[in-house]
Structure 1
Amino acid sequence: MMFWGVGIVSYAWKQYELYGYVSDSMAASVALQLVYVAKFFWWEAGYMRSIDIMHDRAGYYLCWGCLVWVPSVYTSQAMYLVQTPITLGTPLAASIFLTGVLMVWINYSVDLQRQEFRATNGKALVWGQKPTFIVAKYTTEKNEKKESLLLTCGWWGLSRHFHYIPEILASLCWTLPAWNSSFVPYFYVFYLCILLTDRAFRDDARCRAKYGQDWSKYCERVPQLIIPGVL
């Protein structure tokens, strides 16, 4: 993640070296990605409770992805724009950037809502109201009886993985400055759609096996997996 920020700034600098200026498309894309990277570090404690850390863990898949895939693919939009300085115009560039910032904020708000709900053991207000939730019981490998609180209101009442929607839309916003010049910079967006959809189904199957009937009750309360009213 650190290289993500350093890498895209380096690409912007390279464009400046080549052409003597940084295009508004590069500026919008890089600035938005820096906002996203900053959000990641601000929310880093929450990431430690994500499926990456809690279940996938630091194996080949995660380590290779962080050391190779992220630096090369996640920064590909800015790399492409180095030699393709597209001029969007200030109104369009600003609109794309501000829309992207909104998506990053929504993504952060969704994750923070659940984080605060868990930290207060279900006592934190959700959108100013008392939260509704399912008490899901499970048994650990050591045969210990435990329970989790599954939030069924707020952002988490819209779908079980609503936070993936602003994640994808944010990535689309920092790719749009490449406009329609090539499919290459859009590869990341398509990849992210596949990755997060697969992750949603994997997480759903894992939780169903973990919580059993309580997960079925939760799915009755929040029937949509990702997109409200669609999927």
Structure 2
Amino acid sequence: MSELNPKTEHLEFLGRFGATAITVGVPLATYLLYFGCSEETGGCPPPLALDRLTLALEDVPGILASLWDTKSTLQYLAWYAFCVVAWRILPGDEVEGVLLRNGERKKYTLNAFSTYILALGLVGGYIHQNGVQSFTFLYDQWVGFTTAAFLMSVVQAAYVYAASFRQGKLLALGGNSGSWIYDFFIGRELNPSIGSFDIKSFNELRPGLILWVLIDISMLCEQAVRRGGLVNVTASMWLTVVFHFIYVTDAQWNEAAIFTTMDITTDGFGFMLATGDLLWVPFTYSLQARYLVFNQVELPWWGVAAVIAVEVAGFVIFRQANNQKNNFRSGKPSNLKFMTTKSGSKLITSGWWGRSRHPNYFGDLLMGLAWSLPTGFNTPITYFYPIYFAGLLWHRRIRDDEACEAKYGEDWETYKKLVPYKIIPYVY
């Protein structure tokens, strides 16, 4: 296996230092986004009075103790178990992934959308039977659920790292550096599995992404309780929740598309993806909905129209670009122009992919902005997602370009002349 698993020479994310910083920083940032923008701490951001800061520092043991909640932990474990059982028993088409370096192809069952619909149906029935006040517990137990998700990601990252040393494992090309902290963070094994249960692809769409929508529903229910019913929920809350719902629904419906993404084909599964999927996505991406519970922004009709316009523009670009790419890769007939590299690969040079090298990123950024606009402009904290996401996509664009340059050589330089813009057409 040494030929299949060469030693990693190039370390990303600033190497060991960056891996350590992100491993500590991601959970810390998740908690800070809560304590720095919540009703319990006094606002978003909370008042920075010296006496409040002193009291907080004096009560560090109490704050640490508040992070753990047994009830929330058990509920989170039940949720994760539900997702696993649904993956196991729900029907779905079976597809093959990309060809791996060892000549094998993994098989995947496409039932994420079925799991999603089942979860929404059960939650909808529960709320209908017991009232909106019965589903506000995700808002009330926020910190406890955050801690449970964090611990799950740590346990999974530790397990797959230890299991990656078993004989015969196919490692990620970027995860075999020999540094335990870096390999633990970036992911040592390419596709860690327990039998037919592929941990990486399962986490990509199910427990965290679906939970994001359920958290949003809980925030909407909490605002409904405070305002006297669903009919009184603000347009800003409805916009945020519906936009998130559309995004997650689109991802679940197009499950097959993830098997050609960098996360699946290139990256190993370690702390970075575990904590990203299970902790970061559901508990930071739902920040706007949580904010709108205690800061109930009222939008004028023209504000609603403007926000919808930004969301529609972003979604159309995102979905059309991804459809063009997926249809082209699957060999479906299209009128797209392309260039053929010396290796025989084809690079699209028309359509959305002729306007920029990453048009789907541009659509993603517009949608992220639309999710934050309903919160108004009283605090920059609710714009954390589009700011963070811009940085993430910028870094991912660099990773993509480096990989393509190594793969295509001079042909990549030719391609860049044909498609000069990186993300935003005619701008960047």
TM-score by length of 2: 0.49
Aligned to 2:299: 88
Distance 1:70 1:19 in 2: 28
Is this contact kept in 2: 1:159–1:226, CA < 8 A?
Answer: yes
Q: CA deviation at 1:107?
A: 0.3
| Correspondent of 1:190 among 377, 381, 387 | 387
Structure 2: which amino acid aligns with 1:77? Q
C-alpha offsets along residues 42-98 of structure 1, whole Å, 9 cap, x if unaligned? 222112211222222422211110111111111111111110111003342244124
Give yes or no for the alignment of 1:37 onto 2:234: no
**1:106-117 map, 5 Å:** 106-117=317-328
Answer whether contact 1:4 1:71 (CA < 8 A) is retained. yes
| 2:239 aligned partner | 28
The correspondence for 1:53, drawn from 259, 264, 271, is: 264
Alpha-carbon distance in 2 for matches of 1:178, 1:124: 43
Q: Which residue of structure 1 lines up, in the alignment, with residue 330 of structure 2? A: 119
Secondary structure of the 1:134 match is strand
* Alignment match, 1:134: 339
SS of 1:230's equivalent in the other structure is coil
Could you tell me which amino acid in structure 1 is paired with residue 236 of structure 2? S
Q: Which moved more, 1:25-34 or 1:44-53?
A: 44-53
Which residue identity does 1:36 align to in structure 2? Y
Residue matched to 1:143: none
Could you tell me which residue of structure 2 aligns to residue 169 of structure 1?
366
Deviation at residue 32 of structure 1 after TM alignment: 1.2
For residue 137 of structure 1, report the CA deviation from its aligned partner.
4.1
Asked whether the equivalents of residues 317 and 362 of structure 2 are also in contact (C-alpha less than 8 Å), the reply is: no
1:160 matched to 2:160? The reply is no
Q: Which residue in the other structure is 1:14 paired with?
A: 222
* 3-state secondary structure, aligned to 1:48: helix
Q: Could you tell me which residue of structure 1 aligns to residue 34 of structure 2?
A: none
CA drift at 1:11: 0.7
What is the CA–CA distance in structure 1 between the aligned matches of 2:418 and 2:308, rounded to whole Å? 35
Structure 1 residues 15-24 or 148-157, which shifts more?
15-24
Deviation of 1:176 after TM superposition, in Å, equals 0.2
Whether the 8 Å CA contact 1:160–1:226 is kept in 2: the answer is yes
Q: Does 1:214 align with 2:425?
A: no
Q: 1:148 aligns with which of 341, 345, 363?
A: 345
Give the 3-state SS of the residue equivalent to 1:56 in structure 2: coil
For structure 1, list consecutive stretches of 5 or more residues without a partner in the other structure. 139-146
Q: Give unpaired runs (5+ residues) of structure 2.
A: 1-208
Residue 76 (structure 1) aligned to one of 287, 294, 297: 287
Give the AA of the match of 1:195. L
The residue identity in structure 2 corresponding to 1:134 is M
Q: 1:181 deviation in Å?
A: 1.7
Alignment-derived partner of residue 101 in structure 2 = none
Q: What secondary structure does 2:307 align onto?
A: helix
How far, CA to CA, are the matches of 2:377 and 2:251 in structure 1? 29
2:317–2:359 CA contact under 8 A, matched in 1:
no
Give the secondary-structure state (helix, strand or coil) at the position aligned to 1:226: coil
> What's the offset of the Cα at 1:188?
0.8
Q: Decide which of 187, 207, 212 is 1:4's aligned counterpart.
A: 212
**Deviation at 1:182?**
1.1
Of 172-181 and 87-96, deviating more is 87-96
Q: CA deviation at 1:4?
A: 1.3
Whether the aligned pair in 2 keeps the contact of 1:168 and 1:192 (CA below 8 Å) is yes
Q: What's the CA shift string for 1:138-162, capped at 9, x where partnerless?
A: 4xxxxxxxx3211111000001011
Deviation, 1:40, is: 1.0
TM-superposed CA distance for 1:5, in Å, is: 1.1
Residue of structure 1 in register with 2:375 after alignment: 178
Q: Percent identity?
A: 36
| TM-score, scaled relative to structure 1 | 0.89
Distance 2:351 2:268 in 1: 29
Distance 1:192 1:228 in 2: 18
Query: What is the CA–CA distance in structure 1 between the aligned matches of 2:268 and 2:218, rounded to whole Å?
Result: 30
Local SS of the residue matching 2:359: coil
Report the Cα offset of residue 131 of structure 1. Answer: 2.4
The SS at the match of 2:249 is helix
SS in 1 for 2:341: strand
Tell me how many residue pairs correspond in the alignment.
217
